[in-house]
Structures are given as C-alpha cells and as structure tokens.
Structure 1
C-alpha cells in the first residue's frame, strides 16, 4: 500500500515537473503604464540564461522558453520586473517609469550622464545595437562634423536660399541609440532635417509629368511667438514593388577587428538577411569584404539563391585593420562588371566608418566616391556600432556617392530600412534634387532654414548640373521647414543691416500676394540634364490648430531637435509642447514609429541636465 502511494506521489511530481519544463513559445506586448503606449527595444531575458529578445516597434515580442522560466523585462528609464511563465503562453506587461533609476551618474567620454543598470545578459544585446550594461564606452572616439546653425537672413539683401534635399535618416536612430543607453546626445549628432525625415508624411502622389510633387503649409511658429513656420513637403512617385527594376547589388562589409562587437558584424549579418528575403530571381547580389585587404567572398549570385547568400553572410568573421578605400574600389568594379542598364546598380556599405589603412581620411574618401559615382552605380551607407563610430566619414560617403545613409541600432531599424522602406531605400526616381526659394520682402523681414546645414548650396549651384545633390527613392518623402519673421515684426534674431542704396524692389514684389516662390530642379535617374518646375506660395497663414497632422508632427520633431541642440533659436520650446504636438498627430502610425518618438522625447526630458542647471540658477 505504501509502495503504491509512493508511486502515485512520484508520478504526480514527475508530471508536474514535466509540465513545468515543457517548451513553449511565449508572446506578448510591453506597454507603458498609464499611457498604455507600446515600448520598443525592451529587453526580455530568461533569468539565469543567456537567452533573450527585444520588443519591436509595436512593443511585441516572441521568445522560445519553458514553463516555469522567469522572464526579466528591463529598459532604460523604467522599473525592471519579472514574470514567471505559467499555463498561459501570452505574457503582457506594463512597465512603470522610474525617474530615480536615472540618477546614478557615471563618467563617460561625452559628459556625466544618467545611466540605468539593466539586468539582461550580455548576449541578449547582440541584435539591440547596444553594448552590455557593464561595458562603458569611450564616446570621445566617435567623430561628427561640426554644425553651425543656419541664421536668419533679410530678403532685401539675400532674397535667395538654395539647398540640396536630404533623405538620410541616420541622425534620428543614432540619437535614439544614445538615449536608450541613458546618454544625452552631443549637439553635432543632432541633424534636425534627418530627424524630421526619419518619418513618413501623408503627402499626395505626383500626378503630372514630374516624379516629385511639392506641398506647402504656412502657420504660426509653436516656439517663437509672432514668427511663422513654412512647411514644405516633397513626395516622390511610388513605384509598385512588382514594377521595380532589377537590382545589381554588391554588399560591401567591413570585417575589420573593430567590427567584432555583437552590435556590429552580427547585426550586419541579420540586417542583410532581411534584405535577401526581399530579392527576386531577376536581382543579383555579390559580396565584398575588407579588413587589412579587400576580397570577394560571393560572386554575383541570383536573388532566388537566398540560402547561398545567407551562408556567405554567416561565414563572415571580424579581424584585422580597415582598408575601406580598397574595398570600395573592388565593390564598384564588381557592380560595373554586372551593370544592368535601366536597373538599380548599387553598392551597400556596412561599417562603423573607422577606416585606417590606405584611403582613409574624409577628404580622400570623398574624392574616391565622387570619381566612382560617374559610373552610374549608387551607394547606400549603413552605420553600425558605437564607441569608435565615425559618422563624419559615413555621411560624406553617402552625400558624395549618390546615395542614402542610415544608422542601424537594432534589428527593428534594419527591418524599417530593408522591408518597410525597401523601394525608397534602393530605387531612385529623381536624383540631384535641389530647392531654391525666393522670398518676397513685402511680407518677409527675415527667414531661416531649420537644419540642412551640411546641404546648403551656393545660389549659382542651382543651375549647375555638375553640382551633386540629394536623391529621392520610390515613395520617399522629404520635409523642410523655414522659420519666418513677418514684415513689421521686431526680432532679436535678425541683425540689422542698412538698406541698399542702389537696389530697387521689383514691381512684382510690391504688388504680388506671393510670400515665396519655390523652384525645384531634378534629374531623371539615367540623365545628366536637370528639369525645372516652380510653385508660388501665397501669404495666407492657417491657424496652428487647423494645420495638418503633417505640419504638427514635423514641427514637433524640429522643436525637439532645437532642444537637443540647445539652439539659440529655440525661443520658448519645451518638451511638454513637443509631446502635445506629436500626440495630436498620431493618427496613422501602423509601425509605431511616432509613438516611439513620444517615448524618446520623455526619456530625453529626464536626461536633459540643462533644465536642472537652469532651475539652480533661478
């Protein structure tokens, strides 16, 4: 009898133990408590193991585990919590904001900033684009071009303003990377136009002969009372994916020793695999790597041989110095050898930008890609990693190589670039796109372009077809904002200049109701001759409350950029106003990018030490 009872107890215990250790795929969503907005980038780790994952832009996750395992949910600025996997394989959590968790100050290469200790194991950070929490980075080794903000100009003396459009979006994800590490970004990281253009806007599709259309709105400046804000939106024609031309791609992968960190080469491999999944039989991929020297590791291969391409990626290992210039030459040569007339011929560079052998200086790299772009091969630049990151070189390569520039801080960003924005990232519909505006001094006392400092052109460059400018891909949107001092309004922003003695205003300027005329030049992808069209804008402002969601959200991002830069033109800008503007513009947000923006603004607000200093001075 005792034996039977013992067997029964043992059987029950065994069944219970088996049930506890049963493999299960756990899914769920992580929300911010109170607001109930999804949080992307949250680390979910299985306690006591090196297994983990992160939430996507919708706050969702999926993880292979066992019943009885404990999941640890952690993220900068939020309280870490644990949940045990029971009968239910769906585990949804709400994280509380933890301002006190951001008070621990450590010394880094940038400054003293607040950093939250995270509980996830080091290996779970591989695809997040962030280093393990114990790893303190020397951010002084990162390099950025200095930015001198555009000032206000008087249209009586400077009626024209000319710049190249910019579809690069690297600055936003790079700033996000720093904020998610508990670091407040340095000023030169903040290129406001790239932050605005990280997001898509709901502009109408072109209907006429041109592949680009212009839309404008004029309203009040949210942060400078009495001033106006001119919103200029460009929309490139969207080509259906079935009609996209064939691609001749060359993956150019930096496999030098500096790429050995988990947020570099391992993330590069997974990012490129997402792109490989989008390829068709008519597409081709070759792969070039460089370290101390450059070499071909995959000849040009049809896109339907995905396993062959992915195997070549999996075999990549990091080690050696960085002969980037040699790799660029070889990649362009292979692209030219397999050139597809009328197709998308493109080199895609993945690197941390730390070139140190051969052609390595910013000037040398610029001259090299300026020479190679004449071949008709485009260049896309993908930045990875931190600590030694050379943003200045990566930006130069993209700007001068007829290409675009993105910073990949996690796998979700790779998905955005290669899946959600596949056409815009790879297929150009208009190249060398330039804008020139002429302001009417009858209505405008002063004007200032927000951002685009590295994209300003001389006015005579507008007619020079040899002058390189930005390119727009299928479905791309580009947004530019001008802040305007209306005629009759006094502003300390505009330095006084004596009226010109011999210049007279044109008759049209005194009688027209036009505020500004916008001229746009572009070239067809296979042409070296530009085409021109222009759009006049009437002096008819709309109350801020009645402007579009496009206007509200772009203004919110610009205002945030002014705060991050500590801009002299920020006026009465505030984080709370940025959040209010952005929240009111979250109508269609299928991928959750705008909701994530609001979370980042709150995180920046908690890390901004300038507010603390200001309060102490009061």
Structure 2
C-alpha cells in the first residue's frame, strides 16, 4: 500500500494580500491548541492540528486581522486586506523607494518568465501520532546547476527553484557498492545536529548497483531537440550541440540514434543511425540552426512514435528532450503535458529532459515531463555540466537499475518524539489533493541517494545512547520495480541508533549537511536561522578540495554571501 505524503490532520495553505502578493511572517493563532505559528517564504504555512475542523486567527502589521473556520483537508487561501493607515503610509513610501525600483525591475524582467512549482516545506511531525512517512526517490539534479547559474550571475535565487534533495544528491555522496546479486545497498547514520543541540540528524543512504557499460543493453536514443527562435543564444542551442556531440562520441556500434527537431515545424532530422556512423551523427547535429515557434506537443508525439517504430526489445529505449521548456504552440500547460506524457509512457519508452537557458526557462514543465515520462531531468548551465551529465555520469543518467522507487520509513515513537524530512517538498497542488499518491522515481546505475531527517529525540533515546538497550530509531522499507517488469520488490532495513558525534561522522555526511543548510537558507526556511559564515565553516571543514565539485561549492558559498549579505544587528542606544 502506498501511503499519502501528508498526515490526516495536517493543515496547510498560503497567505497573500489583495494584490496577490505572498505575505511572509504572518502570525497564525490556532484556537484549539492555543499554539502560535508564522507563515514562511511565499506566504505558505503548514502544521499539525488535533482535529479535522479548527479556527485560525491571522495577524500581520499593516493588515486587517482575520479569523476563519478551516477544515484540514482543504488547502487554505487566506487573503489579508491592507489597513487604511498602512495604505496611506505605503503611498508616502512610494517615492522613497523609487531609486531602488529601477534596479529591482531589471532582475524581474530577466527572470519574470521563468516558471517553478510552488513548494510546501515539510514540517515537524509527531511520531506518536504519525510514525510513517514515505517519499519518492529519483536521480534529478537539475536544481543545483540552475541555482549555480543564478549565483554565478550575481542574482538572487527564486526560493522555489531550490529543491534541497537535488542539491545534496548532485554530488553522489556516500556511494557503497551493493552485494553481488542485489540492486541496492542501504546505510544509515544518526548524529547530533551541529546547529541545534537538542536535535539529532538521521542520514539514510541508498546506493544502486553499477552496470558495466560494455554489457548494458543496446540503446535506442531519439534526440528531441528544440531549435525554435528562443534557442538562438550561446547558452542554448550551441551548448546543446556540444553536449550531444560529446554523448555521441561514447556510443557503441550496437547503439542507434535518431534526431527529431522542432522550431516552426516538426521534422525527423536524422533517421535511425548506428553508433558506428559517428561522423554522420556529429555532422547532423552541427548543422542545426534555431528559428520559428515551439510546437512542443507535436514534437513529443513525433519523437515517441519514432522511438516506438525502432523499439529494441530489452534495450534502453529513450527520448532525450533538450529545450528551454518554452512550448508556445499546441498544448502548453503543465496539466496538458502531464496527460500527454502519461499516455506516451505506456509505450515503454523512457524520457530524459535536458534544460537550458534563462529568462524564459520553464523548470515546472520539464519537471512534469520527466516525472510523468518515467525519466529524469538535468539542467545544463555550461559545457562542464553537459560533460558531467552526458559523459561522466552516462550510466546514471540513461541506464536505470530500478523504476517506481520510493522509501517508507516508520519511526519508533519510543526513540523519536518528532521528525522532519529536509527537502523532498511537495508541490502545492499535491498537498491540496488529499487523494494524491506517491509516484516513485527511477534510479540510475551507480547512483547514490541521500535523505536527511531532523529528529527531536525522546528521553529514552538520550538515556540509552551508546547502550545495548537502545531500540531501533525506525524501520525502513525500500519499494521498487525492476525495469521492464511490472512486479514489485521491497527491501527492509532496520535503522539502528548508531549515534556518533557530528565531528566524528564521515566527512561526506558533514559536507551533505552543509549543502542542506545552504539550501534551507537560500529558500528562507524558518527552520534555518544560522548565518552564512557558520554554513561556510561546516562546509570548509568537510569538503574534499581535491574533488572539483566540492571545491566549487566552497566558491559558490563565497559568492552567495555577497548576494545575500547578513543584516547588521542594531546597536542599542544605552546611555
């Protein structure tokens, strides 16, 4: 049985003003429990309540107070009206910010057409009431390179562009080869939280077996390349051409490639061609030019039809879509794309999405396509990232070990008082739909997935630490299907209370923690109150400077601190 992602009495929603602007820091008073909460970034909120119906009061400086009756399974859309006094003050302040408005508008114009799903951050859950949680695993890593793109441009990052699990798993940390004959290796570690002494951190790691590239099934790749007018920029079509050419150089004679292009119209640019004919494929890619509209829907249908006609039984049949996601002809909405790809995935053809560009980049569309297309999604911000995704991590990206993979964790209330999953946040629409079920992801060859929980330990947990009397923290069940097989498998793993001080755990886990902190602070999470210097200190102590990506992260942190300077504390006027 697949468990819902949210608890029965888990109340969530959003708060905006009458101009549809999200309100952060609104005080929320829960009448039944007398508890007080605050809205987070983008005005979102979420917390547990003890009954299905409740009353909430909302208070925010400059706005009229509001009290409403709510039901837990309904996504709350709260609108606060500006008070008359505040409206007058706003009119007076308008001139004082005019000097800053010009600078801010440049950023808005540059990124205003980019789209991201609004995410609802996970909250602490009482283990006594709701011991079970389940979440999907996949190999998407697009968020990290997209965040890097913003920071390298010295620009603030849209909070919903930050998907913390993708930041952590970009580095493929803690990989441990599974035993012979097994698909996965599972490990866990309990440690102290370096920022919050009263909390613990639980690390859960799943490593997929590595496939021998010389022995993997032949590939039937259909390159679906966007050559519309929006791709006529150096970091779009030229980057993709270089990326695909790097991939082609690693093809085997048993592999075959077709190319479908769309820009103004849809066409089969290259008929199925053997990996033996690399020069033909490379020349075909080099001759691509950008022009026209973006008939994405028609192009996807054409690519899948071509993949079906050249289907290799038992092979790696995959459409590789490369685009900025700006579909403007035919069906263009996320919902329409969802329905289209859900139908197409029945063919047994996988989908990989490669995103490029900025300004009109449609992250939300590519997420939808990859998820529903039984595939994965990467963002290419430069040629180094293209080589990482398409050459160095070729088998991780294109050769799946298992499909429909998700993790079910049942916490032991005797050892865990509360828990919170960092990252793996839900889309707002999924939270609003109480009937939503978990949709597992696919895991590629040699991929390592790391999940981190914040834990509030019980007294028993603390008293039995390092003792043989300590009970297990949780019971983990990994669910998955073998590729090309409808049967399901499950691996059970006891999560031991193997508590180790943070400074003594593996350096890669320490580094993963610093990446999680980085993501939480970028999002403006209410669960992260430390400064950039502390995060940088944790990262510097753990990073392997001989590892290019980890060394680059330290540099990224330095750049981020300049974009997000810490607010100086006001000095008290003591006499």
Fold conserved between structures, TM > 0.5: yes
Q: Equivalent of 1:615, from 563, 569, 574? A: 569
> Quick one: which of 413, 419, 429 aligns to 2:385?
413
| 2:367–2:377 Cα contact (<8 Å) kept | yes
Partner of 1:562: 520
Q: Is the 8 A contact 2:118 2:427 kept in 1?
A: no
- Distance in 1, matches of 2:516 and 2:435, equals 26
**Number of the residue aligned with 1:107:** 103
Contact 1:291 1:322 (C-alpha < 8 Å) held by counterparts: yes
| Aligned twin of 2:532 | 575
Cα distance in structure 2, aligned partners of 1:595 and 1:298: 40
Match of 2:560 in 1: 604
Give the distance between the partners of 1:413 and 1:222, measured in 2 at CA.
Answer: 32
Per-residue deviation, 1:295: 1.1
Aligned to 2:397: 425
Partner residue, 1:298 = 270
Is the 1:434–1:520 Cα contact (8 Å) retained in structure 2? yes
Query: SS at the partner of 2:284?
Result: helix
Give 1:584's match in structure 2, choosing from 541, 545, 553.
541
Q: Report the counterpart of residue 51 of structure 1 in structure 2.
A: none
Aligned to 1:550: 508
Residue number among 452, 458, 463 corresponding to 1:481 in the alignment: 452
8 A Cα contact 2:119 2:427, kept in partner: no
Deviation per CA, 1:138-168: give whole Å up to 9, x if none. Answer: 2111111111110010011111101101311
User: What is residue 165 of structure 1 aligned with on the other side?
Assistant: 137
List structure 1 segments (4+ residues) > 4 angstroms apart after TM superposition.
108-112, 455-458, 461-464
Alignment of 1:315-354 (within 5 A): 315-354=287-326
Matches within 5 A, 1:1-40: none
RMSD: 2.4
- Whether the 8 Å contact between 1:164 and 1:455 is mirrored in structure 2 is no
Deviations 1:196-236 (A, max 9, x none): 01002233211054311111111011222210110111111
In structure 1, distance between residues paired with 2:403 and 2:354: 20
- Alignment partners' CA distance in 2, 1:462 and 1:579: 41
Contact 1:203/1:215 (8 A) holds in 2: no
Give how far 1:549 is off.
Answer: 1.7
Matched positions, count:
462
Larger Rg: 1
Q: Deviations over 1:171-216 (max 9, x none)?
A: 1000100111111212111110110010022332110543111111
- 1:411-469 Cα distance to aligned partner (Å, 9 max, x none): 000010011101101101111101000011111111011111138999xx9998xx641
Q: Normalized against structure 2, the TM-score is what?
A: 0.77
2:373 equivalent to 1:401: yes
Residue matched to 1:267 = 239
Aligned to 1:375: 347
Q: Displacement of 1:262 after TM fit?
A: 1.4
1:198 aligns to what?
170
Deviation at 1:313, TM superposition (A): 1.1
How far apart are the structure 1 equivalents of 2:526 and 2:206?
28
Change (3 A) 1:365 1:587: same
The answer as to whether partners of 1:436 and 1:462 remain within 8 angstroms in 2 is no
For 2:231 and 2:487, the matched residues in 1 are separated by: 41
Aligned to 2:46: none
The answer for the alignment partner of 2:549 in structure 1 is 593
Measured against aligned partners, the alpha-carbon deviations of 1:103-160 in whole angstroms (never above 9, x if no partner) come to x997255859xxxxxxxxxxxxxxxxxxxxxxxx621111111111100100111111
Aligned counterpart, 1:288: 260
Question: Could you tell me the TM-score, scaled by structure 1's length?
Answer: 0.72
Structure 1 residue 488, shift from structure 2 partner: 4.5
C-alpha displacement of 1:589: 4.3
Report what 1:247 is aligned to.
Answer: 219
Q: What are structure 2's unaligned runs of at least 5 residues?
A: 1-99, 461-468
Q: Does 1:279 align with 2:251?
A: yes
Question: 1:523 and 2:481 equivalent?
Answer: yes
Q: CA 1:168–1:617 in 2, change beyond 3 Å: closer, same or farther? A: farther
Is 1:387 the equivalent of 2:387? no
